[in-house]
Structure formats: structure tokens, C-alpha cells
């Protein structure tokens, strides 16, 4: 794993001949040093004439003879010609991650441990919760804590406050670390591809509440967890990462919950890392994940 500063170009566009040649040629003309390249061609969907092409390219920052802003401006004409959806990010700029939690602490504990050890090299400007339960733990880490109660009578106001806080702290990504509330459609629409949830089930099975109880009733032999982007449709957003563990007839619901917590932590951490490293490109309700 290289540690020097790099720029990451992530992009998708209608598939055609010569995309890689054009983009790599652009970088070569600047004497840019490519560190890593990931490419994927998606076949046309029903009713479409062409498929879609996806790419992620890491470029050593000190090989580019000018600032990132100029690199973006120079790349823009080519991106427009290729009809690209694209962005170029800087590894030296830490992403600002706002975490939303309720009362269950295991995912928050895990992410804060990874942040403290710099395994997740991010900034956490604040934690928001609909309960005051975890305030002491969060503030012990030196992180501001916002208690925003959510009830049937104040949901619109509560989510307006969550959005205000997110904007005020200049958040890049919002993580629902077992935040046991359904976000408003307005909040989901405000940040497409920027809100990440961990659902304690291997979606699309057992959406909604009490999935372990649903799984127990069905007698399944595998339980899992799913990290996905949040949309207005409950637990239906594009999936980033999943994992499972085998269980058997002797496991009670309480056992399944205990096993599941371990999976939830690792799946959320992996999914968040892929997102922060610009390894996830969304295509409709699917994702392309360059691991």
C-alpha cells in the first residue's frame, strides 16, 4: 500500500472505443505517474444501445506540475467530450464523517477505535443521536455530541436540524451506525450517495425492523449484514458490501444478535473505507466497487 500523496480520478461514461487511451494519454502528457488503475465495462441494459464504462485511477500528486484545481480544469473538456460523470480527489484532504447513532454502541465503538488508531484516516466533526445515552463516551473522545430527539410529532424539524448540523460542520459523508430511525425523503434526496447505513441482515432478505427475529422464524442457516447507500426506499439503496456467518438450529435469537454484531462492525468498516477511498461508483441501484 503506497503512502505518498495521490489524486484519485473516478469516473463513468457511455462505453466506446478509446476511453482508456484518451484518459491515460491525458495523464501521460502531464508526465503524471499512475499508481493504480481499475476498469470495468458494464453491458448495455435492456432498451439501451451502449453499456457504461467505469474507471478509478490513482496518480502520484508530486508528478503533476500544478495544483489539483488546475488538473480538474484541464481534464474538464475531455470529460465533457466523453460525457463523463467524474471527480478528482486528494488523498491529503481528510473526509469529514458525521456519525448518527441511537442506543446500540457496537458499530460506533468500532469506528471510533479505527479512527483513534488512524486505520480510518478521517475527521469526525460530531456525532448526532436521538438519545443521550452515548454522550459521555463520545465526548471522552473529544468529539462534539448533538442530541436531536426524533418523535412522530417532530420528525420534519428533527431531520432539518440534522441537515443543519451536517452543513454547519461541512460533512462529506453521513454514517448511520445503527441509527434506528428512518430518515426523511427530503434528507435522503439532499445527499444522494453520501449517506451510508448498516442493516443487520443480508439484503434483500428481512428488510425493516427485527431482522434477526425474522431470520429465526424462517429458520435460515446464514445470517448477515449489509452496508448500503440510503435512499427514500427503506433498505433498498445501492449495496456497497455484505458478509454472512453460518448458524444452525441450536442458535437462539440472542445468539444470532451476538454473532451479527461482529459482522455488522466489519461490513460497515469495509463499506465506509471503500466509499472514502472513492472505490464505489453507483450505477442505478447497483454499485461497482473497485477493491
Catalytically annotated residues: 235
Separation of first and last alpha carbons in the chain: 13
**Pairwise CA distance, residues 211 & 260, whole Å:** 10
Residue 210 parent element (H or E): none
**Pairwise CA distance, residues 78 & 59, whole Å:** 17
Count of H helices and E strands in the chain? 8, 13
Beta bridge partners of 14: 52
Which of 183, 107, 98 lies closest to 144 in space, CA to CA? 98
Cell triple for residue 196? Answer: 451510508
Question: Edge-to-edge strand order for the sheet containing 34-42?
Answer: 34-42, 52-60, 6-14, 85-90
Question: Would you give the distance in Å from CA 129 to the centre of its chain?
Answer: 19
Amino acid at each position: 500500500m503506497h503512502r505518498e500523496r495521490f489524486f484519485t480520478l473516478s469516473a463513468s461514461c457511455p462505453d466506446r472505443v478509446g476511453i482508456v487511451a484518451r484518459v491515460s494519454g491525458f495523464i501521460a502528457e502531464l508526465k503524471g505517474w499512475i499508481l493504480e488503475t481499475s476498469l470495468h465495462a458494464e453491458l448495455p441494459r435492456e432498451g439501451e444501445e451502449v453499456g457504461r464504462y467505469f474507471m478509478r485511477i490513482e496518480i502520484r500528486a508530486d508528478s503533476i506540475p500544478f495544483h489539483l484545481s488546475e488538473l480538474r480544469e484541464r481534464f474538464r473538456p475531455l470529460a465533457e467530450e466523453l460525457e463523463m460523470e467524474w471527480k478528482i480527489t486528494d488523498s491529503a484532504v481528510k473526509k469529514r464523517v458525521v456519525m448518527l447513532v441511537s442506543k446500540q454502541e457496537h458499530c460506533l465503538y468500532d469506528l471510533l477505535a479505527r479512527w483513534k488508531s488512524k486505520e480510518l484516516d478521517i475527521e469526525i466533526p460530531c456525532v448526532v443521536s436521538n438519545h443521550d445515552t452515548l454522550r459521555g463516551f463520545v465526548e471522552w473522545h473529544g468529539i462534539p455530541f448533538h442530541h436531536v430527539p426524533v418523535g412522530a410529532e417532530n420528525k420534519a424539524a428533527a431531520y432539518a436540524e440534522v441537515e443543519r448540523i451536517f452543513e454547519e460542520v461541512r460533512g462529506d459523508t453521513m454514517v448511520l451506525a445503527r441509527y434506528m430511525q428512518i430518515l426523511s425523503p427530503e434528507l435522503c434526496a439532499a445527499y444522494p450517495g453520501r449517506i451510508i447505513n448498516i442493516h443487520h441482515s443480508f439484503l434483500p432478505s428481512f428488510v425493516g425492523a427485527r431482522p434477526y427475529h425474522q431470520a429465526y422464524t424462517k429458520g435460515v442457516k446464514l445470517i448477515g449484514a449489509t452496508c448500503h447507500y440510503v435512499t427514500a426506499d427503506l433498505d433498498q439503496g445501492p449495496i456497497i458490501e455484505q458478509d454472512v456467518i453460518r448458524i444452525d438450529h441450536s442458535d437462539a435469537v440472542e445468539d444470532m444478535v451476538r454473532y451479527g454484531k461482529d459482522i455488522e462492525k466489519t461490513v460497515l468498516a469495509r463499506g465506509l473505507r471503500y466509499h472514502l477511498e472513492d472505490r464505489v461508483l453507483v450505477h442505478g441501484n447497483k454499485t461497482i466497487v473497485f477493491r
